[in-house]
Copies of this chain bind each other. A is one copy, B any other.
């Protein structure tokens, strides 16, 4: 295997390993030595290519985000002209598929950031989680219409968002039932139905 002049193969190995280590152990818990070992490269190369741990973290997250965003568009691939209900389905389907992809470490990194922020990704928080919330907001708003109170719409968005980002694999581990595996397709169908039932209930005034 020829050594690439720009060390591209090395950079890739580093980013892949870094995303995995940071996802599993958090920013502070993951060490550069661990990332070096996981990627099979020399630890000094991390500083050589990325300057330091913080910049590596940013790059690794960006790497994971870019890949996932390309493969699973946050709007589900449907534009604003599509019916709101179809858009909602697309958003949920894409969000769940994205987070079910075993190669994708983005959600775990974001969850770590959510519960104990490093500050390093503060300026990109507008992406990922916030992206998902934004498109959900739009679809839910179009479904419920202006007759429903702002607050009710916010709550509905929050609930649907929660169902989309829950880290299923980790929950499964707590459950301690390795025989059972949640299938993404089944979860997408279920969450969409659950969400639609909730929204219709709000629309038909099931709420008080």
Interface residues of A, Cβ cutoff 8 Å to B: 23-29, 108, 111-112, 114-117, 125, 129-130, 133, 151-152, 154-156, 158-159, 161-163, 165-168, 170-171, 174-175, 180, 182, 186-187, 189-191, 193-198, 200-202, 206-207
Q: How far is the CB of A147 from chain B (nearest CB, A)?
A: 17
Contact B174 A154 (CB under 8 A): no
Number of identical monomers bound together in the oligomeric complex: 2
Q: When the two chains form their complex, are residues A193 and B201 in contact, meaning their CB atoms are under 8 A apart?
A: yes
A167 to B161, CA, bound (A): 12
- A19 to B34: give the CA distance in the assembly, Å: 28
Bound-complex Cα distance A198 to B160 (A): 12
A110: nearest chain-B partner, CB-CB? B115
Partner pick for A29 among B116, B155, B182, B195, CB 8 A cutoff: B116
Residues of B within 8 A of A25 (CB): 28, 116
- Tell me if A115 and B125 are in contact (CB < 8 A): no
Q: Are A114 and B158 in contact (CB under 8 A)?
A: no
Q: Specify which of B28, B115, B130 is in contact with A170 (CB 8 Å cutoff).
A: B115
Instruction: Point out the residues of chain B lying under 8 angstroms from A197, CB to CB.
Output: 197-198, 200-201, 206
